[in-house]
């Protein structure tokens, strides 16, 4: 499979296929005609002696310096032993790349570099940059033969574009720098030789065409947004599993509710959660049916089969003397208090999932809109318009503008950057609620039986999630608000968008870890909830009144005045449980639980959890959980 690049129709999906799946590219013939026309136009203007920025003048703060007919440095005492072989015009472009390749840090991941190559090729195909077809074909060969230039991650201020990192990329075409080939880090010259690619000598404006643009920040943003799209969907899945584990309320997800405040992301999140929870018999369960956890003891269950359970269950009875003023409530619900509190609304981390997840979705959607425009835009400088009508001066056809400025991307990624810890934070709050016995609606403390008081269960899982959320929050400060002028103040306002996009991409890993930890915890909680409810149903179906009464922690004695009412009402509880049918989560949540249980067992007592955590994080990162629960 190959993807044809034409400068106008590149999509985020195609970038991901090229970057991550190794898909090759071809160049649209019509686009190559435009490319050659611009290159020929520049050659003609140079031959006429017209001054063109970045072609016959210096760059940045050197823009007021015109290139001469010969090298003044030839007259320096002692001569110049490192004399450049080509013309001054060629030397200008060559020196631009070799002096701008000054980034530091670890090399960008191969998928980021492949995305950069694809995007750079596509923007140059618009035919407004002055690059030759032969040079563009050589750049395409790097991508298709999987020569991955070594680009240290840090060094771009996001205007004029990503000068330094793109210089590291382009310098390999000259036979300089370093590159990875077949996983081995070698010199640029060796990588070209191995791949059968001839090094090039740059022509008019080609250095500037290759290194001036928003390409690194854009490539990083595309990869980050792809990950975030999957993580938002996974966060919805984790949220649905947690809501099922709480036997929560679905009213806050109803479509008529969100029609009154129709933010697109909010509406979509509510719809998605309803879909994930479809078929659940846990959500909206009557309060009185839900027992609370009680520590297992040797006499917890009278039946030998039931004695194999890892928990006990119980309710409290509300005697008639304590129902004054609440008669209407107890006409609807039986007078038993188990795990569910008698309140019609859940905590914010459950009730406000559409509003919070939805706002993150909207931030992602806005960034996608910006990125989609940028993918097929020309972002270098100056812009070449060989077909301009009635030009009077060269400035009418070679126009210096500011498309290299990354602020549109920077602000979009600032928005996403602020959204990431928000999504992580609400996930951690749900996780915390699951392990806290004061707030988990009758589940065991830290989701472990702890019969001998030796078990910590899922206690420290929440610590890790809290640490990750804090780390993301401290990195969420927008880089885009802090410009530092460059090039002797010729470039006096920059975007810092490359830092912004890099931060977002890095933060997606921690976001995935937090969501994975919620899923890990919610799976344990959900099994407890289902098993406890189905254990109660099993007792009820046996029809053993005394066995059911033994699960009421404050059952009145037979000689107590309220005993007759209690006997009638406990039979009502048994009938309600028996009539309810099997208790289970929504269909999609059940699939997700089954997928998790393929690699992680229920934890009945403390065990080493590092392997569990690694496996759940891998499951989320691979997107297998999303695919298998669809």
Residues designated as active site: 53, 100, 212, 348, 351, 404, 491
- Give the residue ranges of DSSP H helices in 296-452: 327-332, 348-351, 353-375, 407-435
In the numeric block, which tokens belong to residue 348?
A: 């914010």
Q: Give the containing element (helix H, strand E) for 292.
A: strand 292-294
Torsion 95-100-105-111 (CA) sign: negative
Q: Determine how β-strand 178-181 pairs with β-strand 147-149.
A: antiparallel
Quickly tell me which residue has 């049916």 as its tokens. 289
CA distance 508 to 68: 51
Phi-psi region of 309 (alpha: psi -120 to 50; beta: other; left: phi over 0): beta
CA distance 242 to 519: 8
Determine how many CB atoms are found less than 10 A away from the CB of residue 258: 20
Torsion 226-227-230-233 (CA) sign: negative
The answer to whether the CB of 394 falls within 8 A of the CB of 51 is yes
Three-state SS across 331-367? HHCCCEECCCCCCCCCCHHHHCHHHHHHHHHHHHHHH
SS3 514: helix
Torsion 40-45-51-56 (CA) sign: positive
Q: Taking CA 494 as the corner, what is the angle to CA 488 and CA 497, rounded to the nearest 5 degrees? A: 145
Q: What does the DSSP 8-state code read for residue 376?
A: T
Considering just the CA atoms, what is the radius of gyration of the chain in Å?
33
Pick from 491, 476, 468, 224: nearest CA to 368: 224
Determine how many CB atoms are found less than 10 A away from the CB of residue 324: 7
Quickly tell me which residue has 């499951």 as its tokens. 619
DSSP-assigned states of every residue in 532-589: HHHHHHHHHHHT-HHHHHTTBTTPPPTTSTTHHHHHHHHHHHHHHHHHT------HHH
Torsion 9-10-13-17 (CA) sign: positive
CA distance 87 to 200: 14
CA distance 416 to 434: 28
Sorted by sequence, the CB contacts under 8 Å of residue 341 that are 6+ apart come out as 287, 441
419-448 burial by CB neighbour count: b if 16+ within 10 A, else e?
A: bbbbbbbbbbbbbbbbbeeeebbbbbbbbb
């Amino acid at each position: 499979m190959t993807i044809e690049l034409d400068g106008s129709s590149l999509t985020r999906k195609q970038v991901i296929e090229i970057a991550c799946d190794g898909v090759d590219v071809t160049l649209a013939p019509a686009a190559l005609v435009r490319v050659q026309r611009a290159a020929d136009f520049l050659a003609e203007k140079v031959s006429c002696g017209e001054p063109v920025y970045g072609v016959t003048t210096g760059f940045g703060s050197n823009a007021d310096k015109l290139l001469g007919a010969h090298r003044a440095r030839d007259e320096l005492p002692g001569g110049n032993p490192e004399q450049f072989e080509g013309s001054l015009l060629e030397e200008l472009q060559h020196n631009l790349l070799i002096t701008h390749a000054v980034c530091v840090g670890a090399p960008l991941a191969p998928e980021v570099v492949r995305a950069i190559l694809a995007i750079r090729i596509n923007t140059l195909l618009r035919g407004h940059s002055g690059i030759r077809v032969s040079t563009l074909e050589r750049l395409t060969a790097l991508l298709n033969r999987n020569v991955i230039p070594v680009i240290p991650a840090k060094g771009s201020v996001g205007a004029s574009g990503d000068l330094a990192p793109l210089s590291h990329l382009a310098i390999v075409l000259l036979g300089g720098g370093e590159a990875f080939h077949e996983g081995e880090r070698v010199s640029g010259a060796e990588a070209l030789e191995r791949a059968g690619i001839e090094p090039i000598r740059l022509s008019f404006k080609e250095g500037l065409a290759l290194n001036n643009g928003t390409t690194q920040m854009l490539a990083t943003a595309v990869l980050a947004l792809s990950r975030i799209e999957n993580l938002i969907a996974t966060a919805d899945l984790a949220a649905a599993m947690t809501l099922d584990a709480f036997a929560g309320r679905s009213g806050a997800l109803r479509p008529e509710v969100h029609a009154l405040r129709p933010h697109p992301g909010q509406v979509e999140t509510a719809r998605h959660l309803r879909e994930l929870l479809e078929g659940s018999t846990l959500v909206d369960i009557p309060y009185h049916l839900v027992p609370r956890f009680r520590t297992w003891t040797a006499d917890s269950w009278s039946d030998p089969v039931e004695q194999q359970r890892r928990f006990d269950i119980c309710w409290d009875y509300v005697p008639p003397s304590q129902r004054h003023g609440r008669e209407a409530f107890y006409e609807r619900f039986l007078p038993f208090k188990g795990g569910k509190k008698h309140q019609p609304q859940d905590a914010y981390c459950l009730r406000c999932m559409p509003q919070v997840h939805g706002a993150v979705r909207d931030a992602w959607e806005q960034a996608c809109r910006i990125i989609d425009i940028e993918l097929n835009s020309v972002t270098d400088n100056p812009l070449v318009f060989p077909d301009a009508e009635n030009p009077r001066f060269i400035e009418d056809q070679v126009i210096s503008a500011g498309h290299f400025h990354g602020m549109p991307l920077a602000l979009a990624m600032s928005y996403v950057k602020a959204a990431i810890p928000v999504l992580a934070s609400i996930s951690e709050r749900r996780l915390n609620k699951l392990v806290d016995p004061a707030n988990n609606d009758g589940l065991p403390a830290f989701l472990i039986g702890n019969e001998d008081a030796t078990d910590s269960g899922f206690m420290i899982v929440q610590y890790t999630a809290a640490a990750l959320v804090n780390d993301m929050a401290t990195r969420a400060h927008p880089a885009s608000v802090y410009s530092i002028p460059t090039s002797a103040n010729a470039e006096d306002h920059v975007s810092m968008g490359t830092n912004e996009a890099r931060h977002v991409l890095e933060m997606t890993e921690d976001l995935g870890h937090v969501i994975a930890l919620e899923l890990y915890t919610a799976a344990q909680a959900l099994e407890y909830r289902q098993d406890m409810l189905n254990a109660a149903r099993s007792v009820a179906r046996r029809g053993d009144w005394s066995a059911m009464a033994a699960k009421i922690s404050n059952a009145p004695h037979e000689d107590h005045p309220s005993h007759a009412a209690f006997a009638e009402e406990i039979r009502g509880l048994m009938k309600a449980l028996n009539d309810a049918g099997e208790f289970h989560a929504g269909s999609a949540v059940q699939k997700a639980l089954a997928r998790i249980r393929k690699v992680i067992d229920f934890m009945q007592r403390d065990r080493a959890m590092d392997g569990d955590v690694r496996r759940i994080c891998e499951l989320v990162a691979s997107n297998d959980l999303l695919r298998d629960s669809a």
